Each structure stands twice: as C-alpha cells, then as structure tokens.
Amino acid sequence: MERLLTEHVTNTELELALLDAVSEILAAYVTTNQVDQAQLPGLVAATRTALSGHGLAQDTHAPIMPKSPTKRQQKAIAEAPAGEKSAEKPVTQPPKQALEPAVPVSESVEEDVVVCLECGARMKTLRRHLMSAHELDEKAYRARWSLSKEHPMTAPSYTKRRQEVAKQIGLGAKRKKA
C-alpha cells in the first residue's frame, strides 16, 4: 500500500489494491454485523463504489494522495497562532452554536459504560474515541458540553477494576527501605 501512495501504478495494481481494501473492510464488517447472503453483492458494490470515489481507482497515472484535511482541521489551522499551524492539533475551542447531546448528560454515565454525548456511542472509556471519531481532546469535550472535571470519562466499574489491579501489583504503595 505504501508503494501506491508514492509511485505511479498501473490499472491492474489499482484494481488489486481496491479489491484488497474492499475485502478487508467487508471481512471486518461481517465479523461484527449479521449480514444475509443476498446482501453481500450489494455491500461489495457499495464499498467498491465508495472507495473508488476516494481516489483508489480514478486516475491510473497519478499517485494516490492522502485525503485532505477536514473542515474542522482546516479551521483549527486557520485559527492557530502563527508558530503553531498544524493539522495534528486537536480542536480545543467549543463551537458557538447551541448543541444537543445524543443522550442527556445525567444518563451518560452508567455502571459499565460511559456514553459519548457527541454520537451516543457506549464504551468503557471515551478518551481515544473522542480523538479518533470527533477530533476532540478531553478538555475540548468537557468545554463543549459544559462538563465538570468530576464528570467521569471512564465507566465506574472499569475504573474500580483498574484500581484493584493497580493495588494488587503494588502500585502506589511506599517502597520498603533496603
């Protein structure tokens, strides 16, 4: 795949890379979702079309380039101070518009899961999800939804279990003098 990003490739190589990408995506999808056999051809066609539209099978003599920055990344770059222009920086300023959470804040923390207010995803910990799915760090997420520092970003049962494991292996205990 690295070669596809840096060199000119033939039609056959592009087609093989496209088929490989489609098969990897669909293999991952069908392992976590129930799919009827009759739906598979449609899924293959839709996935192939979607990937073709993103440059994997467009121009046979042009190198495939990484996707351009998202609008949020472009805005962050434009608003960053002159010495800090980078698309890698997370957006830390909440938007000015009124937002509606996916679930009420009071229902976002359960014993075994925390629920993302952005999309409603339920998981044990939000930190990685926020960065990968919404390009938000913890500080920006808290500011965006007016959450206090005490609002948990991990499920209470998960936090408790990690605390027990840390105690069992001796983390946090004072060392014995030799």
pLDDT digits (tens, 9 = 90+) for 119-134: 999 999 999 999 999 9
Q: How many domains does the chain have?
A: 2
**Residue scoring higher pLDDT (66 or 40):** 40
**CATH code of the domain in which 99 resides:** 1.10.10.1550
Residues 43 and 96 in one domain: no
Mean pLDDT of the chain: 78
Query: Is residue 107 located within the same domain as residue 50?
Result: no
Domain with 27, as residue range(s), is: 2-56
For residue 116, tell me if it sits in a domain: yes
**Which tokens sit at 55?**
């440059």
Q: Is residue 50 domain-shared with residue 97, that is, in the same domain?
A: no
120 or 17, which is more confident?
120
pLDDT 10s digits, 68-120:
556 666 666 667 665 554 445 555 555 555 689 999 999 999 999 999 999 99
pLDDT score recorded for residue 89:
52
pLDDT for 116: 96
3-state SS record for 127-150? HHHHHHHHCECHHHHHHHCCCCCC
User: Is residue 38 domain-shared with residue 94, that is, in the same domain?
Assistant: no
Is 0.75 topped by the overall pTM? no
CA-angle at 136, arms to 146 and 26, nearest 5°: 130
Q: What is the pLDDT of residue 134?
A: 93
Classify residue 51 by its DSSP letter.
H
Residue 147 burial (C-beta neighbours within 10 Å; 0-12, 13-18, 19+) = middle
- Gap between the terminal Cα atoms of the chain: 55
